[in-house]
């Protein structure tokens, strides 16, 4: 069978006879196309939401918590200011600043919460990615004195804090006899910040580096140098090698993939699981193509019998069915991807609108007036960064079309299982 004849038969199957209103085969094929289209919508939407959620979370961890690279001293090694300044002169490094991390307890308004203490310099808040991901209520995010403290939004809500409140930060210090005892330090809330992801910043407090030197014990602190580069997504080994050759001493070098490996693997597994679940709907739609083709074969049994009589071989029917299945899968995928992309692009506005409708419905039916969010900010980003992944979409279309074609081949036995003369005699 020539390719032109194969294409003609396929398009005749999909479009049907012109002017014929009651063509069951045509209706079955169009139903199969719509089933593929409908199954593609949730697949595209879930894929983009999962990818946007994972990308947003990882970006916040990299830029606000782990840095791109960390230098952690071993033993009594200390980094000098000259060495830190030398780091910025290396290729691709755009930021290098010290940070002290510890833990403690914050007390205010007769409430207390365990906190993760981060002692940073003012340069930390001036870095452009920090300003991008760290939302602030004040106009100027800086320390003006060693008594200033900057609190995470979730923590501020738990303790009912507002800017200007006085809080007590409880830490542990060590005496000359190696005994630990609590140290109470008063701070004033300079600002309240949020990264948009509570599991990351829910217990954060930022204090001045000089204040940490006074209130945090040397045995209860982690000192590190946070480094950022202009190529965070690339291989950082060359930069790590340059650092090791430039800065002497005993210290460990970690990149963000090592520091966030568990979290990154967990997010990747969750995204993969969601995509697999949504892919099952595409498989079901492909199977629906099989049932539609069988209905078409039954409806057009006379035409297939005549084709057998003139010498069309079973493998040529298989080629026809494969081509027809691919075309049906391709058309259905394209139809379904268009609304899927539109929904994905406006998913934040859609979630916000649904949340408003839920709150209005709760008020009308007398439920709690507490504002409800469709995605709990305790576990999810408050804003999902969506980027349309065109390469992945084209791959989904190709796989769906190929899968539809492969499934359709199994219908060939419906054509050849009866002798053509018997089919003609019955009709």
- Domain for residue 258, yes or no? no
**CB-count burial class (<10 Å; 0-12, 13-18, 19+) for 168:** middle
Considering the domain architecture, whether residues 15 and 136 belong to the same structural domain is answered as no
Per-residue pLDDT tens digits for 126-138: 899 998 888 887 7
290, pLDDT greater than 80: no
Q: To the nearest 10°, the Cα dihedral for 211, 213, 216, 221?
A: 120
User: Which is more confident, 305 or 228?
Assistant: 228
Direct distance between the N- and C-terminal alpha carbons of the chain, in angstroms, rounded to an integer: 26
243, pLDDT greater than 80: yes
pLDDT band at residue 369 under the 50/70/90 scheme: low
When mean pLDDT is compared across 141-145, 238-242, 275-279, 351-355, the lowest value belongs to 275-279
- Domain for residue 296, yes or no? yes
- Helix, strand or coil, per DSSP, at residue 391: helix
pLDDT of residue 29: 77
161, pLDDT greater than 60: yes
Considering the domain architecture, whether residues 152 and 294 belong to the same structural domain is answered as no
- Domain for residue 257, yes or no? no
Domain that holds residue 144: 78-248
When mean pLDDT is compared across 16-30, 298-312, 343-357, the lowest value belongs to 16-30
Considering the domain architecture, whether residues 408 and 328 belong to the same structural domain is answered as yes
Q: pTM for this structure?
A: 0.79
Once rounded to an integer, what is the mean pLDDT over residues 288-300? 72
Considering the domain architecture, whether residues 48 and 86 belong to the same structural domain is answered as no
333, pLDDT greater than 80: yes
Per-residue pLDDT tens digits for 246-271: 999 889 999 998 888 888 788 778 77
119 conformational bin, left if phi > 0, alpha if psi -120 to 50, beta if neither: beta
117, pLDDT greater than 90: yes
Give the chain's domain count: 2
Considering the domain architecture, whether residues 29 and 93 belong to the same structural domain is answered as no
- Domain for residue 254, yes or no? no
Which of 248, 279, 308 finishes a domain?
Answer: 248
Considering the domain architecture, whether residues 43 and 135 belong to the same structural domain is answered as no
Per-residue pLDDT tens digits for 196-206: 888 888 889 99
pLDDT of residue 93: 92
* Residue 205: closest CA among 116, 144, 127, 133: 116
pLDDT of residue 268: 78
pLDDT band at residue 380 under the 50/70/90 scheme: confident
Considering the domain architecture, whether residues 204 and 353 belong to the same structural domain is answered as no
- Domain for residue 238, yes or no? yes
Which of 195, 216, 248 finishes a domain?
Answer: 248
* Residue 153: closest CA among 122, 195, 117: 195
Considering the domain architecture, whether residues 135 and 179 belong to the same structural domain is answered as yes
Considering the domain architecture, whether residues 227 and 288 belong to the same structural domain is answered as no
Which of 197, 216, 248 finishes a domain?
Answer: 248
- Domain for residue 187, yes or no? yes
Considering the domain architecture, whether residues 97 and 240 belong to the same structural domain is answered as yes
120, pLDDT greater than 90: yes
């Amino acid at each position: 069978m020539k390719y032109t004849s194969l294409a003609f038969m396929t398009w005749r199957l999909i479009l049907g006879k012109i002017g014929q209103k009651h063509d069951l085969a045509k209706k079955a094929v169009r139903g199969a196309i719509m089933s593929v289209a409908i199954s593609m919508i949730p697949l595209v939407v879930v894929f983009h939401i999962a990818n946007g959620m994972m990308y947003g979370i990882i970006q916040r961890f990299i830029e606000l918590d782990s840095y791109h690279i960390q230098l952690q001293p071993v033993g009594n090694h200390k980094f000098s200011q000259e060495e830190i300044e030398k780091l910025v002169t290396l290729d691709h490094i755009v930021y290098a600043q010290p940070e002290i991390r510890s833990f403690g307890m914050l007390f205010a308004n007769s409430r207390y919460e365990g906190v993760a203490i981060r002692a940073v310099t003012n340069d930390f808040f001036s870095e452009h990615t920090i300003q991008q991901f760290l939302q602030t209520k004040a106009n100027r995010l800086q320390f003006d004195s060693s008594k200033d403290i900057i609190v995470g939004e979730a923590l501020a809500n738990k303790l009912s804090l507002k800017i200007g409140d006085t809080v007590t930060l409880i830490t542990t210090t060590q005496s000359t006899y190696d005994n630990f005892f609590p140290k109470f330090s008063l701070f004033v809330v300079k600002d309240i910040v949020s990264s948009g992801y509570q599991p990351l910043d829910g217990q954060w407090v930022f204090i001045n580096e000089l204040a940490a030197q006074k209130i945090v014990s040397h045995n209860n602190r982690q000192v590190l140098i946070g480094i950022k580069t202009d190529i965070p997504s690339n291989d950082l080994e060359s930069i790590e090698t340059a650092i090791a050759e430039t800065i002497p001493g005993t210290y460990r070098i970690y990149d963000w993939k090592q520091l966030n490996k568990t979290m990154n693997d967990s997010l990747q597994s969750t995204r993969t699981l969601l995509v697999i679940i949504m892919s099952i709907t595409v498989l079901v739609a492909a199977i629906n193509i099989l049932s539609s083709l069988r209905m078409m074969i039954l409806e057009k049994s006379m035409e297939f019998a005549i084709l057998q009589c003139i010498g069309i071989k079973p493998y040529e029917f298989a080629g026809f069915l494969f081509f027809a299945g691919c075309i049906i899968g391709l058309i259905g995928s394209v139809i379904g991807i268009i609304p899927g992309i539109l929904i994905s692009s406006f998913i934040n506005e859609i979630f916000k609108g649904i949340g408003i409708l839920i709150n209005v419905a709760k008020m009308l039916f007398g439920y709690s007036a507490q504002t409800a969010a469709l995605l709990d900010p305790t576990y999810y980003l408050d804003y999902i960064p969506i980027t349309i992944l065109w390469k992945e979409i084209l791959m989904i279309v190709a796989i769906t079309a190929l899968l539809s074609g492969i499934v359709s081949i199994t219908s060939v036995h419906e054509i050849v299982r009866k002798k053509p003369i018997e089919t003609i005699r019955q009709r």
